[in-house]
Amino acid sequence: MMAAEKKIGIISCSGEGCVEGTISRIATRLVLEKLRPKDTVTICLPLFLAGGKEERKFARDYPTITVDGCNKMCAKIATERYSGKPASSIIVTNFNDSQCPQLISRRKLNDEALNVTRKVADRIVEEVDDVLRHWV
């Protein structure tokens, strides 16, 4: 049963090892802060994985969108394992055709990475709006 209040959980991978992890994180934050602040919340993935009960309950009761940096899909797999199938799953490497380029700083995104970040954020927004449209 869906909860009454319409909130969608955006679960980003932490992805410290690759620039795509930073992109997934910043795209998620952009949606939370600027693009859909009233409709979305986020969950700390390491806390979720470590057994955070409130986080897992939220992800069971509310629709979620996972945002993973790479095809290991830690966020999607963890959400499916501990709470349920996400409404949608996004993988950053599908947007930039790269796999963990170590030459790009993971700390300060360059213009190319920021461009990918905006595309990922826009895609998250599309998925959020779609979930809201079909919310029963």
Partner 1 sequence: MKTEVSPQKKVIIIPCSGIGKAFGSISRDATYEVTENLRKDSTQTLCLALLVSGDQESLQLVRNNKCITVDGCPLQCAEKNIKIAGGDLASSFRVVDVYKENRHLKPRTITFLDPDGQQMALVLAEKIGKKVDGLLRNQ
The distance of closest approach from Cβ of residue 82 to partner 1 in the complex, given in angstroms and rounded to an integer, is 11
Q: How many residues does the chain have?
A: 136
State which residue, 1 or 50, has the beta carbon closest to partner 1.
50
State how far the Cα of 102 lies from the Cα of 105, in Å rounded to an integer: 7
State which residue, 61 or 100, has the beta carbon closest to partner 1.
100
Structure tokens at 124: 């998250």
The distance of closest approach from Cβ of residue 39 to partner 1 in the complex, given in angstroms and rounded to an integer, is 16
The distance of closest approach from Cβ of residue 4 to partner 1 in the complex, given in angstroms and rounded to an integer, is 23
In this structure, the number of other CB atoms found within 10 A of the CB of residue 111 comes to 7
- What Å distances lie between residue 38 and 24, 70, 118, CA to CA? 20, 28, 19
Contacts with partner 1 by CB under 8 A lie at 12-18, 20-21, 25-26, 28-30, 33, 42-47, 49-50, 52, 69-70, 72, 74-75, 77-78, 99-100, 102, 105-107
